[in-house]
Chain A
Amino acid sequence: MLAYMARRLAVSIPTLLLISMMVFSLQLLLPGDPALAIAGEERSPEVLAAIREMYHLNDPVPVQYWHWLTGVLSGDMGQSIRSRMPVTELIMTKLPVTLQLATMAMIIALAIGIPAGIVSAVRKGTAWDVGANVVALSGISIPNFWLGIMLIMLVSVQWGLLPASGYASPLEDLSRNLQTMIMPAFVLGTGIAAIMMRHTRSAMLSSLRADYVRTARAKGLSERVVVLRHALRNALIPVVTLGTLQLGELLSGAVLTEQIFTIPGFGKLVVDAVFNRDYAVVQGVVLFTGTAFILMNLLADMLYFLLNPRLRA
């Protein structure tokens, strides 16, 4: 297990380096002079020269990359051009908001997706199955932004049940926080719930057909035990892996959802940074997301390993 993890980690390093190069070249590819963007209104040649000197902009590209990379590795991802705040700090203050959103979305996705998948597999071909599939297909097909806007119109504007915006930190006002987070979490969670449902269903269908399920029935176990203990235990292995991979998906899905519900999270940070040409922030966020994605993959691999006794040996 340890050797396996070490190997997987070693394989991740080149991937991470590649991401860092792509992230770094973003600013080279984007139109406009970064020095101009940093200088803002003060565009005297002396100031620009000073800025170029300060940010190593006169150095050859590989040297610039090296400066940037060593900085990143020591936790310094530069400064936001707009707010002058360190990028690391910006990410750290916004991240918990998005993590909360993603966690809530995941809980919703699991709470809907897995039971729906089980029911539609066990009741295959019945109205339950058809219903669950129709809902799942809608969940996959309906874009998040449309569902978000519809929910705001219905739940917030028409019925006045939940606030459409006005995020509050859970530490300040938990009830307000949950009220503002539940709708975006639902919007974000439904798409994933649909994917989870489809995968749970197909994994359950194949494990319900397995010989060991017949053995379990031959022991006289109740249908509930057969389904939940024998079939589901096996079906969950691929589903859990998929769920972990979807966590990475949630981080990117949060971008739109946070924008719609004006939640000051990670997604909003990156959108604002793009509009403001705040390169350092964009770089930081993309690099961070990429790393998180790779870590999620690693976690998925490890979970698969832990859940599957055949691999553990």
Chain B
Amino acid sequence: MAPSPILARASARSDANTNPALAAPVAEIRDLQVGFRTDEGGFNVLDGVSFTVRTGRTLCLVGESGCGKSVTALSIMGLLAPNAIVGHGEILLDGTNLLDLSRKELNERRGDRMAMIFQEPMTSLNPVLTIGDQIVEGIRRHRPVGRAEAERHAVEMLKRVRIPAPEQRMGDYPHQLSGGMRQRVMIAMALANDPRLLIADEPTTALDVTIQAQILDLIKTLQDETGTAVLLITHDLGVVAEVGDDVAVMYAGRIVEQASVTDLFADPQHPYTLGLLSSIPRLDSEIGRLPTIRGSVPAPADMPSGCRFSTRCPFADDHCRTEEPPLADLSPGHAVACWKAPLEVRAA
């Protein structure tokens, strides 16, 4: 098998990062279960999700739409819809369980020690407030500084996210800026208080391809400058290869495989990860149908027993369909939730 271009990029990146395990954990999610209450009853969206985001490193959370990536991010920020219920688990930020905090204590951390960038830059900024007001407000909420000082800092942040003529942009309203510029403003706002953890939920999905690369680059550069831990949510394995250090693959509310980016691309173990990797179009392969994973993600209210991927897995047997596989270490730093691991058959 010829090395895919994505894989080549991934190994180039990860080689640059040394001592991954020594980096201090910033956020630790442990056995998180989140459900939603509806008129028809309740169902779980996340079931026993665990992962760790470390200082200066980027953890990519990958999976199909509806697998629970965004719910995970919103749970950390405490931004879940009112009908969401956190069943059990812990969300530790620098050792403090956020789930134990009062609304006021959580508010002291949101926008300060942890911050979030959303998928939709077009609607995430308030249309009736100026860019400057929206950044300044976040700074003054967490820093005992006057308006002038906060404005200076806001201009500085706009400069850091490479917005031209930042002084003039301060008085602009969001509609006067393009999508890419608005996402830069969101990043400036999120990083204004120098957070320990930055959550980016599909930050480039809504943007043009050329702008996507710029935004990812920017996040990476700023992370190198500040050492912020980044949790990057994406469905795009190209993005993972580009900016990720570690990856957690999510399927139907569970983490099915977790590894460094290099390991995951070089030696994918979960059949679902294999499916995801083989459905990336390649320039060097023969013309034909793009491989897909058959079937579709089961609905949260209608989860299969045993392994949740068993309904779509080419390797599944009765054991898979009756008993749920735990997420177990296969080698140091590479964990898989599959009875068949290590896989001996490699999917074409």
Digitize A202-245: 1 where CB-to-B-CB distance is under 8 Å, 0 elsewhere.
00000000111011111111110100011001100100000000
Let me know if A234 and B79 touch, CB within 8 A.
Answer: no
Number of cross-chain contacts by CB at 8 Å: 78
Cβ of B107 within 8 Å of any chain A Cβ, yes or no, is yes
Question: How close is A287's CB to chain B, nearest CB, in angstroms?
Answer: 38
Whole-angstrom distance between the Cβ of A207 and the nearest chain B Cβ? 9
Tell me the complex Cα distance, A289–B52, Å: 69
Whether the pair A212, B173 counts as a contact (CB closer than 8 A) is: no
Q: What are the residues of chain B within 8 A of A217 when measuring CB–CB? A: 79, 110
- Report whether B123 and A221 are in contact in the complex, using a CB–CB cutoff of 8 Å: no
Instruction: Pick out which of these stretches binds chain A: B28-36, B42-50, B125-133, B253-261.
Output: B125-133
- Complex Cα distance, B127 from A233, in Å, reads 10
Picked from B118, B123, B138, B176, the residue with its CB within 8 Å of the CB of A219 is: B138
Query: For the complex, is B267 an interface residue (Cβ under 8 Å from A)?
Result: no
Name A310's contact: one of B103, B125, B173 (CB within 8 Å).
B173
B residues near A237, Cβ cutoff 8 Å: 128
- Is A308 interfacial (CB-CB < 8 Å)? yes
Chain A window 270-313, contacts with chain B (Cβ cutoff 8 Å), 1 for yes, 0 for no: 00000000000000000000000000000000000001111001
Report the Cα distance A212→B137, complex, angstroms.
14
B108 contacts the other chain (CB 8 A): yes
Q: For the complex formed, measure the closest distance between the CB of A143 and the CB atoms of chain B, giving whole angstroms.
A: 37
B56 close to A (CB within 8 Å): no
Q: Which residues of the partner chain A approach B107 to less than 8 Å between Cβ atoms?
A: 220-222
In the bound complex, residues from chain A placing their C-beta under 8 Å from that of B173 are 309-310, 313
Q: Is the CB of B138 within 8 A of A309?
A: no
Question: Is residue B112 within 8 Å, beta carbon to beta carbon, of the partner chain?
Answer: yes
Q: Which residues of A contact B189 (CB under 8 A)?
A: 215, 219
> Closest chain B residue to A209 by CB distance?
B81
Residues of B within 8 A of A308 (CB): 128
Contacts of B112 in A (CB 8 A): 220
With a cutoff of 8 Å between Cβ atoms, the chain A residues found around residue B125 in the complex are 212, 215
B120 touches A233 (CB 8 A): no
Q: Which residues of A contact B175 (CB under 8 A)?
A: 309-310, 313
* Docked-complex contact A220 and B126, CB < 8 angstroms: no
How many residues of chain A have a CB within 8 Å of chain B?
Answer: 24
Give the contacting residue for A234; candidates B103, B116, B126, B186; CB below 8 A: B126
In the assembled complex, the CB of A212 is this many whole angstroms from the nearest CB of chain B, namely: 4
Interface residues of B in 187-238 (CB under 8 A from A): 189-190
Beta-carbon contact of A211 and B124 below 8 Å: yes
DSSP class of B's interface residues: helix, strand, loop or mixed?
A: helix
Residue from B109, B115, B123, B127 within 8 A of A309 (CB atoms): B127
**Closest A-chain residue to B74, C-beta based?**
A214
Cβ-defined contact, A234 with B127, below 8 A: yes
Q: A212-B123, A214-B79, A309-B175 are in contact. Are A220 and B108 (CB under 8 A)?
A: yes
Partner of A220, one of B109, B123, B127, B176: B109
User: Smallest CB-CB separation from B135: which chain A residue?
Assistant: A219
Q: Confirm or deny: B250 has a beta carbon within 8 angstroms of a beta carbon on chain A.
A: no
> Which residues of B are found within 8 Å of A310, using beta-carbon distances?
127, 173, 175
The answer to whether A219 touches B110, judged by C-beta atoms less than 8 angstroms apart, is yes
Asked whether B141 lies within 8 Å of A221 as measured between CB atoms, the reply is: yes
Which residues of chain B (87-127) have a CB below 8 Å from chain A? 103, 106-112, 115-116, 118, 120, 123-127
Chain A residue, CB-CB nearest to B78:
A217
| Contact status B111-A218, CB under 8 Å | yes
Contact B111 A234 (CB under 8 A): no
A211-B128 in contact (CB<8A): no
The distance from the CB of A303 to the nearest CB of chain B, in whole angstroms, is 13
- Give the Cβ gap from B177 to chain A, nearest Cβ, in Å: 11
- Taking the closest CB of chain B, its distance from the CB of A238, in whole angstroms, is 12
Interface-central residue, A212, A221, A313, by most chain B CB under 10 Å: A212
**How far apart sit A210 and B174, CA to CA, in the bound complex (Å)?**
15
B142 within 8 A of A: yes
The chain A residue with its CB closest to the CB of B108 is A220
Q: How far is the CB of A69 from chain B (nearest CB, A)?
A: 43
Chain B residue at minimal CB-CB distance from A214: B79
Q: Is the CB of B176 within 8 A of A221?
A: no
Which of A210, A214, A216, A218 counts the most chain B CB atoms within 10 A?
A218
* Additional A-B contact list (11), CB under 8 Å, known A219-B115, A237-B128: A212-B124, A212-B126, A215-B186, A216-B126, A218-B190, A219-B189, A220-B107, A220-B112, A221-B141, A233-B129, A313-B175
Can you list 8 A-B contacts with CB-CB less than 8 angstroms, sorted by A residue number? Answer: A215-B118, A218-B79, A219-B141, A219-B189, A221-B111, A222-B107, A309-B127, A313-B175
Identify the B interface with A (CB < 8 A): 77, 79, 103, 106-112, 115-116, 118, 120, 123-129, 137-138, 141-142, 173, 175-176, 186, 189-190
The 3 closest A-B pairs by CB, nearest first: A220-B111, A219-B111, A220-B110
